[in-house]
Chains A and B, each alone.
Chain A
Amino acid sequence: MSLRSGVATFAGRSSYWFLHTFLHGGSSLPGKITLKLDPQILRSLGAKYDVIVITGTNGKTLTTALTVSVLHEKYPTILTNPTGSNMEQGIVTTFLNAKRPKSGRPLAVLEVDEANVIKVTQYIQPKAFVFTNIFRDQMDRYGEIYTTYQKILDGVALAPNATIIANGDSPIFNSKQLPNPIQYYGFDDQPDRDFKAKPNTDGVLCPNCQHILHYHTLTYSNQGKYFCPNCGFKRPELTYRLTKLGQQTPTSSQFDIDGHSFQITVGGTYNIYNALAAYAVGRFMGVAPEQITHAFTANEQVFGRQEVIDVNGKRVTIILVKNPVGLDQVLHMIGTDTQPFSFVGLLNANYADGIDTSWIWDGDFEQLADSNIPTFITGGERYKDITFRLKVAGVPDSKHIVEPNLEKVVDRIQEVPTDRVYVLATYTAMLQLRKILASKGFIKEGLGV
């Protein structure tokens, strides 16, 4: 380590210690200070590690947590970054915070924001990249799916020897020729048919000849066993295959990968993709399927995002929603609940939520309106938008409570006729709701997302 890097590292570590001792946290400032003193600090900080970079639009956090669990079966020391710290500063802070490894080459499994992949590969040669998916996401800030993917590829171009472990069901990951070795994971549990994705789906143009892609099977959005009837472009051979899909509920999923049975304590097909990605990385790194089964069942806390809160006897599940595909999948997931439930939709449009609310029109609320939900509540700062969305979906006024004030939403939740309540909320709406729930004593902390 150079003198400059040493000084920068010391300053960063000191500020981390100071922040965490006296000010209860801070995950980007130490990185910021360190980067200011030595912009190339990652070169020395990361030199000791084998690095796995996990990137994509949705599922980064859970895939990272699951991958760490899986790899822990074989590797005792793994460095990873906490939720949200997936930009350069947060990654630097993560390395600063690490205990210095005593011997051997430890692993670092890093969640990295799409545009920040290049900030890592400028200084570190990762062992592998994991690509989860690329969907439209908060269009007021990010670009289109193709520009997002290009940002990732700009970073990957600096690490041509790293193995890419990609979602094979997503056509975009098969659209560019890359020098890297590539392994694909995907779903392979259905007989082949021939159909197109539903009209309101992004990314269905064949990257070869620009015809509309067809599908043999489709999981959600534009993901599946795609093929182009015009030029023959098709899904690549899968290295890791989901061979059977078992029962799915909002709190559990059963499935087989490569013939091995797995169960995870979280619902949603999108989370099965996350598990599939973690499985793929595990196999790539030499973890046995039995060990992966163990990792999935022994580490239930990694699924902590779908927290269930007891609100005076109501079992309230709060789920963060932030983009169209995620929203649509969450709606689909809660639809798998066999017990009666009530629905709450909380919409804000602050910067952290995305200031454009148009994405709510891409969620299949129609399916929700058709099911037997007795009570719908809509609220939040943009309650008018979400209220009209439900009206258009066909929710009758007699079942629909409009309550902009979140404090009163918490009161209304206690009056619904079901024991179960699903709350879908945008980021700042969720923070506000949690604060209220904390002030009323239903949860301990106000900010733990």
Chain B
Amino acid sequence: MTYELNVAHLYGDLMNTYGDVGNILALNYYAKQMDVHLNVQVVSLEEDFHAADYDLAFFGGGQDFEQTIVAKDIQTKKAELIKFIESGGPLLAICGGYQLLGHYYIGADGEKLPGIGALDHYTLAQDHNRFIGDIVIKNQETGETYHGFENHQGRTFIGKGERPLGNVVSGKGNNGEDGTEGAIYKNVYCSYFHGPILTRNGDIAKHLLVAALKRKFPHDDFSQQEALPIPATF
């Protein structure tokens, strides 16, 4: 393969609920079609994340217990993660990963757990309720429609500099109130879609891969990669 990208699977051994690994598999599937080889590495507890080592990152969702442990550990990676994000590093964050990139989230037992504040959102809990079911959203800028399955207790409110990943066509979305789902900030994509998101929405995989390629190889032409057709899979 002509190109190589280094992918950090953040806490891949702890944050893997709801088939999150499918995102890595789908990323690999589309990367191959773009003549790109992915080196995927799990970066877990007590391991360093160096922004310069990675071209792309994925951060999935976990069970409550695992997330409380990750919430503590991720503070040690905060500075480098922010460096990665601010320098345009493409990152996909799902559910717990999404919540931990923001200011804080309220855990299952009502405890307020800090995130890393890289993105300007926060997450509240809801009592005895989860948003569960199929969801469809539309991204206003690209006109793309995304299909997925949501299953989350947290209600997230996006903030400064963040655009929603899409507006809810059917389903609940970020908080069941404002009609938004997920968040985009620079090259960071956040969502509550499990399902997993990239397996049904290859366009997002393409955006992430192309952003990573352009960032790593600024002088190359990736128009062919950008033109890769993504047939519907849902």
Interface positions of A (Cβ within 8 A of B): 136, 139-140, 144-146, 196-197, 199-202, 204-205, 210-212, 324, 355-362, 384-385, 387-389, 391-393
Contact = CB atoms under 8 A, between A and B. Distances in A.
Given A358-B195, A360-B19, A361-B196, A384 B233 contact: yes
Contacts of B19: 324, 358-362
B64 A362 contact: no
Contact of A361 (B132, B134, B199, B233): B199
Which of A357, A360, A361 has most chain B Cβ within 10 Å? Answer: A361
A261 to B, nearest CB: 37
Interface string B17-46: 111111001101100000000000010111
Contact of A358 (B28, B44, B149): B149
Interface residues of B, number: 36
Interface string B43-87: 011100000000000000001111001000000000000000000
B225 interface: no
Given A145-B63, A356-B151, A358-B149, A136 B13 contact: no
A130 to B, nearest CB: 24
Contacts of A212: 13-14, 44-45
Given A200-B12, A211-B45, A136 B149 contact: no
B65 A146 contact: yes
Interface of B: 9, 12-14, 16-22, 25-26, 28-29, 42, 44-46, 63-66, 69, 132-134, 149, 151, 194-196, 199-200, 233-234
Contacts of B13: 196-197, 199-201, 204, 212
B132 A140 contact: yes
Given A361-B22, A388-B233, 14 more contacts: A140-B151, A144-B17, A205-B69, A210-B69, A356-B18, A357-B195, A358-B19, A358-B149, A358-B194, A361-B196, A388-B199, A388-B200, A392-B25, A392-B199
A393 to B, nearest CB: 8
A443 B12 CA distance: 45
A376 to B, nearest CB: 16
B149 A200 contact: no
Given A144-B64, A145-B63, A200 B21 contact: yes
Given A199-B16, A202-B63, A385-B234, A361 B21 contact: yes
A387 B22 CA distance: 14
A212 B15 CA distance: 13
B21 A356 contact: no
A111 B9 CA distance: 39
Contacts of B22: 358, 361-362, 389, 392
A144 B18 contact: no
A10 B233 CA distance: 56
Contacts of B132: 140, 355-356
Which of B42, B134, B233 has most chain A Cβ within 10 Å? Answer: B233
Nearest to B69: A210
A75 B9 CA distance: 54
Nearest to B73: A210
A384 B202 CA distance: 14
A392 B233 CA distance: 11
A361 B149 contact: no
Contacts of B64: 144, 146
Contact of B63 (A140, A144, A324, A389): A144
Contacts of A204: 13-14
Contacts of B65: 144, 146, 205
Nearest to B26: A392
29 contacts: A139-B18, A140-B132, A199-B42, A200-B12, A200-B21, A201-B13, A201-B16, A202-B63, A204-B14, A205-B14, A205-B65, A205-B69, A212-B13, A212-B44, A355-B132, A355-B134, A356-B194, A358-B195, A358-B196, A361-B25, A361-B199, A362-B19, A362-B21, A362-B22, A384-B233, A387-B233, A392-B22, A392-B199, A393-B25
A146 B63 contact: yes
Nearest to B195: A358
Contact of A202 (B16, B44, B45, B46): B16
A172 B140 CA distance: 46
Top 5 closest pairs, chain A to chain B, by CB: A361-B22, A361-B19, A358-B19, A144-B63, A388-B233
Contacts of A196: 13
A196 B44 CA distance: 12
Contacts of A205: 14, 65-66, 69
A391 B33 CA distance: 13
Nearest to A201: B13
Contacts of B44: 212
A324 B14 CA distance: 16
